[in-house]
């Protein structure tokens, strides 16, 4: 039963990630400059943002060190168009793919117990009080986060 639960949770993540991935994949640097709505984020920024947020999940879920920590400054700390994009589209897409591969191959090995372990941003003490602050909660929250931005990405014609 646990196994089936986990299978469905991972399938849900894969579905939203692949949905946004299919949108980004065919676009070049220039096409990625489009904004999702007037005065709103460029697709390029959203790709960087999602890559940075997923990269942060590696330590947060206890999987390992980050692959692209330098992206945070540009795509999390600062708003769009305030800092120059440090990577061309092809390299950013490569990073996006690498980060997602690292994540998915690790979580596919998680046991049911692993999923219910605390994430690394919560203390032992707080976790004892709130056992829902676990890896599963982070994973579902980030699944919703991709879906949230996917809703914006599809607005670009």
Q: Which residues bind a second copy (CB under 8 A)?
A: 1-2, 4-5, 7-9, 11-12, 15-16, 36-38, 40, 112-113, 115-116, 131-132, 134, 136-137, 140-141, 143-145, 147-152, 155
Distance CA 61, CA 100 (A): 13
Provide, rounded to whole angstroms, the least separation between the CB of residue 8 and a second copy: 5
3-state secondary structure of 88: coil
Provide, rounded to whole angstroms, the least separation between the CB of residue 64 and a second copy: 23
Cβ atoms 154, 46 nearer than 8 A: no
Q: Tell me which H or E stretch contains 16.
A: helix 2-24
Nearer to a second copy by C-beta: 65 or 124? 124
Within 10 A of 55 (CB to CB), how many other CB atoms are there? 27
Provide, rounded to whole angstroms, the least separation between the CB of residue 50 and a second copy: 12
Nearer to a second copy by C-beta: 4 or 84? 4
Nearer to a second copy by C-beta: 60 or 136? 136
Distance CA 38, CA 48 (A): 19
Provide, rounded to whole angstroms, the least separation between the CB of residue 100 and a second copy: 16
Nearer to a second copy by C-beta: 67 or 116? 116
Within 10 A of 107 (CB to CB), how many other CB atoms are there? 20
Provide, rounded to whole angstroms, the least separation between the CB of residue 33 and a second copy: 16
Distance CA 11, CA 121 (A): 25
Distance CA 71, CA 74 (A): 6
Nearer to a second copy by C-beta: 93 or 118? 118
């Amino acid at each position: 039963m646990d196994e089936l639960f986990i299978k469905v949770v991972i399938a849900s993540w894969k579905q939203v990630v692949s949905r946004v991935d299919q949108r980004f994949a065919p676009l070049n640097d220039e096409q990625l400059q489009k904004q999702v709505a007037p005065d709103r984020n460029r697709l390029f920024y959203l790709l960087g943002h999602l890559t940075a947020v997923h990269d942060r999940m590696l330590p947060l879920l206890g999987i390992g060190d980050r692959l692209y920590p330098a992206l945070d400054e540009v795509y999390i700390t600062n708003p769009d168009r305030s800092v120059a994009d440090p990577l061309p589209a092809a390299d950013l897409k490569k990073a996006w793919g690498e980060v997602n591969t690292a994540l998915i191959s690790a979580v596919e090995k998680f046991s049911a117990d692993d999923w219910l372990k605390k994430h690394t941003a919560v203390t032992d003490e707080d976790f004892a009080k709130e056992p829902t602050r676990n890896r599963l909660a982070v994973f579902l929250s980030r699944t919703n986060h991709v879906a949230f931005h996917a809703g914006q990405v599809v607005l670009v014609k």
